[in-house]
Structure 1
Amino acid sequence: MRKLAGKLLLLLLGMLLVTILVSFTLTGFLYERLYVNSIKEELVQYGENVSLDYDGGDVSDIFVWNVEYLNEKTRFEIFAVRNPRELSACVPFEIDYNALIGSKERAQLLDGQSVIDVGYEERFKRDLVSVVVPLLDEDRLEGILYLYYPLENIQELTENYALLWVLCIFLFSMIISVIGAKGVSYVINPLLEMKDAAKNISRGDLTSRVNVSSRDEIGELAETFNKMAESLEKEDERNKEFLATVSHELRTPITYIKGYNEALQMNLGTEIERAQYFQLISRETSRLDKMVNELLDMMKLETGNFHIELEPIALAETVRQAVDSFKSFAESHGIDVLIELNEDIIVQGDEGRIHQILHNLLRNSLQYMNGSGTIQITLDDSLSREEAVLTVSDTGIGIPEEHLPFVTERFYRVNKARTRSDGGSGLGLAIVSQLVELHNGRLTITSKVNEGTTVEIRLPLIVTEDG
């Protein structure tokens, strides 16, 4: 960041230098355009005004004397001569008559136009503006008015203001430096704060945040950084919660398996009890297998390595098979399972993964039943006949409304208590959501506490020729 601050300061100093150079260039431009041009215009205007006193014919001595009188009253030098060569007696420098009035200039004078020239004069050590105004009698050039003025150079024009000029440059430089330093600090300080916060996050302090002190791009960057840090913190909390959940869920069946296995090895218990031990070991082994499979599925889904094979399937038959494998177990726990299926529904799907979706949903419904109740599965087409609508409804304990937006996130559990009876690993609905998405479908969950939950899945419908 220090390097960036140095670069910004160098940029400001460069801009200041460019500004000063431009000001000098502009001064020269203004000198040429304003001062020099104004002198030219004044000389031409003054000469043409004087030429109005010429009445034609030969240039009289009276006219020449009047011009000499005017010469003493004006800041310009002005002379009236009948022949340009007479100028040598009037001006204190040598004149190249051929250069002063050549053929081009003579044609210009005969046309009634003044001739203007700017050139360096060694006698005055500066540039000289000269103007030749014609004295015409019809189409004859009877004489000329010659006016000149030695230009002040730019240093002379500014020498009276040199101190003020230097002072202004100094003050301007100081103001630019102060504003630039504050501007650099305004840009750099939030970036330095973000750098420190990023270091804290890299060390594991996910609570680190930066202050948002503006609404510009820097402020938006700070807000984005804070949102990123907040997301990382939430993800970290979920991962910790997930690890705690998984470790607890793994520890419980492993403890059962280990304990009952040791009892079997020691020939403890009666034959009936030992048979129960085998059943418990088998049940807990199944739980472990299911959990490991869910973890593998979740990992594949998140890394994009999960593949499904879509083909036309009669969805009603697939749903019936999944429900039949679950129905007897549910009824043994006092749960009624009702199904209402449209046999004509055909979708593009992976039969095994749809089984998995239904298994997870039915298992959730059973898990969150409060005693006896009802689970209803319906399948029909939508009003537009473009989608198959599969719903799984239960009369369980329901889900609080504030939790509904998050229940399909991985590792999310409505009940944070990690017990074997009231919650899984938090992966079931997350897997269902992503499997439905892979089928180009939509998942909607509605629920009311103590009334039950309804999960609706919409899949693209394949319309048959009869449909």
Structure 2
Amino acid sequence: MKRIVTGLSFLQKLWLTICFIVLCTVLFFFLMFQFAYKQLYVSYVQTTLINEGKGLVERYHNLGDNKKFIEFLNSYDKVSNASVLYISNPRDLSACLPYNVHHESFITEDDRETLLKDKVISKTGYVDRFKRNIVGVVVPILKGENLEGIIYLSVPLKSITELVNQSKWLLVFSTFFFSTIVLLIGRRIIQQMIKPLSKMEQISYKMAKGDYSERMTSITGDEIGKLALAFNSMSDSLQREDENRKDFLANVSHELRTPLSYVSGYSEAILDGVVKEDELKHYVGIIHSEASRMQRLVRDLLDLASLEGEQFPLQKAPNVLSQIIEEAITPYLNSLKEKQITVIKNIDDSIIANLDADRFSQVIHNVISNAIRYSPIGKSIYVTLKETDSIYIEIQDEGKGVPKEQIEHLGERFHRVEQARSRKEGGTGLGLAIAKQIVELHDGKILFTSEPNHGLKVLIILPIFE
């Protein structure tokens, strides 16, 4: 017996998966927001400072007077968000800028080379003196190839950090609210998705106990809905199989009960001496007849079981169909003569089919035997063999036919149109079922049509041999 390992349900697994995905997504976007927002904001501040610095340089050149520019710069520094320093001697920069914490020159020789090329230097870093991060730009003031001075503009990053921190709490709250809503909605959706699966589980347990009556009713158009349709189809098939099994057992019991009662009753009568000597041969004949009938029934059952279970592989080979049909009719010549039945043939001798000759001969035997059994005395049986888009074999008798409501049941095990008459004439009710199985194993199909008092037409369709 297999051990069932208990653990998380499918609903719990799916729920935890969604929670994990939401958590990872929120965390990823939260980190990306912090990184991207800070980087973009710093870049924006640097660009603003550079443009502001270049504007001041242009103002310096327009004024053309160092004293006036310093006065303008003092006024400008009071209204600007940035701290503005003007250094006319770049070599003294280390004594003026806040970055000169350790009395080291802020402008290196490489920086001076950069400034001489009229390029702006951007600097971002932590300053111990102010205990904060600062974004600064150094804009050169050039006259020809000489560096007349620089304009240093700086903005403390405290405001940026506060902005990010404020946004961080807003983001945390929004994320928590959004995640809660998403998870609640997701849980509801998951429950709706799992509901049909839970229903299928309940039905499957009932089916395991033999109850096939319940079906899935709420069917959607998605994959679960398709699964529900397939589940209903499976339930229908299992119910049919269960009914067929019960019918099969009932029919086998019924078929064997009558001959067994005859054999048992007459043999007891003979053993008890009840049967007179001149009647002994008659009763022994009945016992033999019923025993033969049981033998045929068992043989047909074994044949049908092997065909349905595909335990009897077909030995297919190219065969002339007309020869198989002629050989199958030959054993019935005496029966045909006794009932004065004429077989009218319209057979194309050139048709070849890829089939198992022995098994397909059994098909013709069963159909011909059935036609003879139900044909009145003096009537005809028509056998036609032709080939167009497929190979067609028609066998039609002139009996009284089969009622329309029973046509669809022809080919089912133990189905008889006339129960008493068929049993009296020795049929097992399996002939057409065996024929149907053999034809289908040859990739063909067998059809039945009938009209009142116009007999039964059996049409066998086979693929063309190529």
Match of 1:431 among 431, 434, 455: 434
Q: How do 1:33-52 and structure 2 match up within 5 A?
A: 33-52=39-58
Q: Which residue of 1 aligns with 2:4?
A: none
Match of 2:204 among 186, 193, 198: 198
Match of 2:10 among 4, 28, 32: 4
Contact 1:407 1:429 in 2 (8 A): yes
1:61 maps to 2:63: no
Q: Which residue of 2 aligns with 1:382?
A: 387
Contact 1:57 1:142 in 2 (8 A): no
Q: Deviations over 1:279-338 (max 9, x none)?
A: 222221221111111111111112222144455655445433432322433554565444
Match of 1:454 among 447, 450, 457: 457
TM-score by length of 1: 0.86
CA 1:411–1:129 in structure 2 vs 1: closer, same or farther (change >3 Å)?
Answer: same
The 3-state SS of whatever aligns with 1:52 is helix
What percent identity do the matched residue pairs reach?
Answer: 34
Displacement of 1:182: 0.7
Q: Deviations over 1:58-107 (max 9, x none)?
A: 87122122212211110101111112344456545526787633333223
1:319 maps to 2:325: yes
1:220 maps to 2:219: no
CA 1:426–1:116 in structure 2 vs 1: closer, same or farther (change >3 Å)?
Answer: farther
Q: Deviations over 1:359-410 (max 9, x none)?
A: 21123224444x44634242544247x84x43211123334556555533x4
Q: Which residue of 2 aligns with 1:169?
A: 175
- The 2-side partners of 1:405 and 1:446 are apart by 9
1:286 maps to 2:289: no
Amino acid in structure 1 at the alignment position of 2:430? L
Amino acid in structure 2 at the alignment position of 1:357? V
Q: Which residue of 1 aligns with 2:3?
A: none
- The 2-side partners of 1:180 and 1:266 are apart by 83
Contact 1:297 1:431 in 2 (8 A): yes
Contact 1:43 1:131 in 2 (8 A): yes
- The 2-side partners of 1:308 and 1:88 are apart by 102
Q: Which residue of 2 aligns with 1:135?
A: 141
- The 2-side partners of 1:462 and 1:65 are apart by 108
Contact 2:118 2:142 in 1 (8 A): yes
Q: Which residue of 2 aligns with 1:117?
A: 123
Q: Which residue of 2 aligns with 1:181?
A: 187
Greater mean alpha carbon deviation, residues 435-444 or residues 273-282 = 435-444
Amino acid in structure 1 at the alignment position of 2:301? L
The 3-state SS of whatever aligns with 2:158 is coil
TM-score by length of 2: 0.86
- The 2-side partners of 1:315 and 1:182 are apart by 65
Displacement of 1:153: 6.4
Match of 1:420 among 413, 418, 423: 423
1:273 maps to 2:279: yes
Q: Across the two proteins, how many residue pairs are aligned to each other? A: 459
The 3-state SS of whatever aligns with 1:306 is coil
- The 1-side partners of 2:177 and 2:427 are apart by 73
CA 1:459–1:130 in structure 2 vs 1: closer, same or farther (change >3 Å)?
Answer: closer
Q: Deviations over 1:230-262 (max 9, x none)?
A: 110011111111211111111111111222222
Q: How do 1:321-400 and structure 2 match up within 5 A?
A: 321-333=327-339, 335-342=341-348, 349-369=355-375, 371-372=376-377, 374-383=379-388, 387=391, 389-400=392-403
- The 2-side partners of 1:400 and 1:423 are apart by 21
Q: Deviations over 1:112-135 (max 9, x none)?
A: 221111111122323211101111
CA 1:155–1:334 in structure 2 vs 1: closer, same or farther (change >3 Å)?
Answer: farther
Contact 1:367 1:423 in 2 (8 A): no
Q: Which residue of 2 aligns with 1:209?
A: 215
Q: Which residue of 2 aligns with 1:251?
A: 257
1:150 maps to 2:149: no
Contact 2:137 2:152 in 1 (8 A): yes
CA 1:74–1:307 in structure 2 vs 1: closer, same or farther (change >3 Å)?
Answer: closer
Greater mean alpha carbon deviation, residues 175-184 or residues 41-50 = 175-184
Amino acid in structure 1 at the alignment position of 2:379? T
The 3-state SS of whatever aligns with 1:54 is helix
CA RMSD of aligned residues (A): 3.3
Match of 2:244 among 222, 238, 241: 238
Flag structure 2 segments of 5+ consecutive residues without an equivalent: 1-6
- The 2-side partners of 1:300 and 1:99 are apart by 101
CA 1:26–1:275 in structure 2 vs 1: closer, same or farther (change >3 Å)?
Answer: same
CA 1:363–1:78 in structure 2 vs 1: closer, same or farther (change >3 Å)?
Answer: same
Displacement of 1:6: 1.8
Greater mean alpha carbon deviation, residues 69-78 or residues 12-21 = 12-21
Amino acid in structure 2 at the alignment position of 1:382? E
Flag structure 1 segments of 5+ consecutive residues without an equivalent: none
The 3-state SS of whatever aligns with 2:379 is strand
Displacement of 1:5: 1.8
Match of 1:75 among 78, 81, 88: 81
- The 1-side partners of 2:172 and 2:145 are apart by 56
The 3-state SS of whatever aligns with 2:381 is strand
Match of 2:25 among 15, 19, 27: 19
- The 2-side partners of 1:448 and 1:154 are apart by 94
